[in-house]
């Protein structure tokens, strides 16, 4: 019986991963932002941030999402970046 529980958890996890990927694809389509443009933006953001800090590129997460602005009903596209900083550089 425990064997079925293990398979059920993996199946649920892959379901959630697939759901999140689909959401990401839909947001990209609605924002008219090509994957190439997003990759160029990501590269530029990394380049600028690394001038001031060392970052963990493995933990880097930059994505486009939909969110509502304060006082507005219509959702807008937003670039969300989670950039783990390992060390601030001394730029003296």
Query: Residue 39 has what pLDDT?
Result: 83
How far is Cα 31 from Cα 80, in angstroms, rounded to an integer?
13
pLDDT tens per residue, the chain (92 residues)? 444 554 555 555 777 777 777 766 666 566 667 778 878 888 999 999 999 999 998 898 888 777 888 888 887 778 888 999 999 998 66
Answering whether pTM is above 0.75, one says no
Query: Residue 49 has what pLDDT?
Result: 92
Cα distances (angstroms) measured from residue 20 to each of 25, 35, 63, 79:
9, 16, 12, 16
Question: Coil, strand, or helix at residue 86?
Answer: strand
Cα distances (angstroms) measured from residue 42 to each of 3, 13, 27, 52, 65:
42, 27, 17, 16, 15
Query: Residue 65 has what pLDDT?
Result: 79
Query: Residue 88 has what pLDDT?
Result: 92
């Amino acid at each position: 019986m425990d064997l079925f529980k293990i398979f059920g958890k993996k199946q649920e996890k892959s379901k959630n991963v697939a759901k999140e990927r689909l959401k990401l694809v839909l947001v990209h389509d609605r924002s008219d932002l090509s994957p190439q443009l997003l990759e160029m933006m990501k590269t530029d953001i990394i380049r600028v941030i690394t001038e001031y800090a060392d970052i963990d590129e493995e933990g880097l997460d930059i994505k486009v999402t939909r969110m509502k602005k304060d006082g507005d009903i219509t959702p807008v596209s937003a670039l969300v970046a989670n950039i783990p900083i390992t060390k601030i550089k001394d730029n003296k």
